[in-house]
Structure 1
Amino acid sequence: MVLRDGPTDKDPPLASLQSDPYLRAKPVSVTFASQGELQESSIVEPLEDVKLGRRMSPTFSITVGGSGKDASYEQFEWRSSHGKEIKELAGHTSGWKLVRLSEAVGEAGGSRSHRAMGCSSDGKEIVAGIAHNASWSLSKGFRIAFVGSGLTGVLGERWEIMTLMTAVHLWLIEFQIATKAIPIA
């Protein structure tokens, strides 16, 4: 899968995602373009713990917060969710939330109804969400939203690209499972 900086295949690539369609080979990797081209000197970031089934919690680590001394390397985890962040996104009850593992924004535990918006059950910050379309339509696949610090731009463009690429990949995995689609080898 290739994400381009424009609507046509002639526009320069921003990143590509490589994976085994049967999810046998791990990890899934996202390659960021260097000067508009996908090349060997490009930065490759792995997406870990991707497997068929509901119990996957894909994680990735990436540099956030700019460059130089302002930058830090942080880990993020996609978690299956039925919480209010997903319901608010599209009115649907299932999806995924992206949790920033290094940032605690609230207390751990407690019921969903009493937990602050944007706070996971372990007190970590939720920075993005994906809500599934119940019909599994290819033309209305899912809705994605950046929230919290993910919405402010403070995490950076590469984080935004990585989040989008991994969100699409998660949706494709769920689509294959829901429709019993046979992946193209």
Structure 2
Amino acid sequence: MNSSPPSTPPVFRAATEADVPALVALVESAYRGESSRAGWTSEADLLEGQRTDTEGVTEVVRKAGGQVLMLESEGALLACCQLERHDGYAYFGMFAVRPTLQGAGIGRLVLNEAERIARDEWHMGELRMTVITAREELIAWYVRRGYRRTGELSPFPYGDERFGLPTRDDLEFELLVKKLG
């Protein structure tokens, strides 16, 4: 993969089912295995196995009331995220940036676009997400972008291999929230 930023401006678009294989490959490369270690979002020290699969991503792409937002340049997928509409808020998930491009501002660009869609197009008052509490550097990145730690915790789905194979027994998620507007 090319590690330099794209030479043409990247463009956003909503994913279709035809994009599922590329989305699965991007998410896996950003979070699992040796390829993920090229970036800073790797969960390889916390979880082994898969991060997602074709069935799960297809379900998210098809889901009414949401979309998977893709950022592309020159035909290459650079980043993605999931947005879902809920009552009074939007949910942000499945966020991935090509590992060799992490730290180049692409993640910030995707997060800003997700916030814009939730606020301006969906008229939502806040954006919510869950992050593994052991990922302190990632939580700090979101806090610097205006997200608030709520202290509201939910358990990691131990025993469900669709979400990976934990290498430790203390994993849990924390809800982060940002008011939009």
Normalised to the residue count of structure 1, the TM-score between the two structures is: 0.35
Larger radius of gyration: 1
Higher helix share: 2
Structure of higher RCO (CA pairs closer than 8 Å, 6+ residues apart): 2
